[in-house]
A = this chain, B = another copy of it.
Amino acid sequence: MKKFLNDPVNFVDEMLEGIYRAHPDVTYTADDKRCMVTSRPKTGKVGIATGGGSGHLPLFLGYVGDGMLDGAAVGGVFQSPSSEQMYQVTKAIDQGAGVLYIYGNYSGDIINFDMAAELADLDGIQVKQCVGNDDVASSKVGEEHKRRGVAGIYFVYKTAGAAAAEGLSLDEVHRLAEKARLRTRTMGVALSSCVVPEIGHATFSIGEDEMEIGMGIHGEPGISRKTLGTADAVIDEMMERIFAEQDYKSGDEVAVLMNGLGGTPLEELYILFRRVAQLLEGRGVKAKHVWVGEFATSMEMAGASVSILHLDAELDRLVAAPANTPFFKHFSA
Contacts and interface: CB of A to CB of B under 8 A. Distances in A.
Interface of A: 2-6, 11, 14-19, 21-23, 54-55, 57-58, 191-192, 194, 208-209, 228, 230-232, 234, 258, 262-274, 277, 287, 290, 292-294, 297, 299-300, 302, 304, 324, 327, 329-331
Nearest to A17: B274
User: What's the number of copies of this chain in the assembled complex?
Assistant: 2
Contacts of A267: 11, 15, 54-55, 57, 299
Contacts of A58: 266
A302 B304 contact: no
A26 to B, nearest CB: 12
A68 to B, nearest CB: 13
A265 B22 contact: no
A259 to B, nearest CB: 13
Nearest to A209: B2
Given A267-B15, A277-B21, A290-B22, A231 B5 contact: yes
A18 B292 contact: yes
Contacts of A194: 265
A293 B324 CA distance: 16
A331 B324 CA distance: 7
Contacts of A230: 5-6
A273 B2 contact: no
Contact of A277 (B5, B18, B232): B18
Contacts of A299: 265, 267
Given A4-B304, A6-B232, A302-B2, A18 B270 contact: yes
A271 B6 contact: yes
Contacts of A16: 270
Nearest to A266: B57
A271 B11 contact: yes
Contacts of A191: 2, 4
Contacts of A268: 3-5, 15
A23 to B, nearest CB: 7
Nearest to A233: B6
Given A5-B271, A6-B271, A18-B274, A266 B297 contact: yes
Contacts of A277: 18, 21-22
B273 A6 contact: no
A54 to B, nearest CB: 7
A62 to B, nearest CB: 8
Contacts of A234: 4
Given A265-B299, A266-B294, 15 more contacts: A3-B265, A4-B231, A5-B230, A6-B271, A14-B270, A14-B271, A17-B274, A18-B274, A21-B290, A22-B258, A22-B277, A22-B287, A293-B327, A300-B302, A324-B331
Nearest to A258: B22
Given A4-B304, A292-B18, A263 B266 contact: no
B297 A6 contact: no
Nearest to A272: B4
Contacts of A265: 3, 55, 57, 194, 262, 297, 299-300
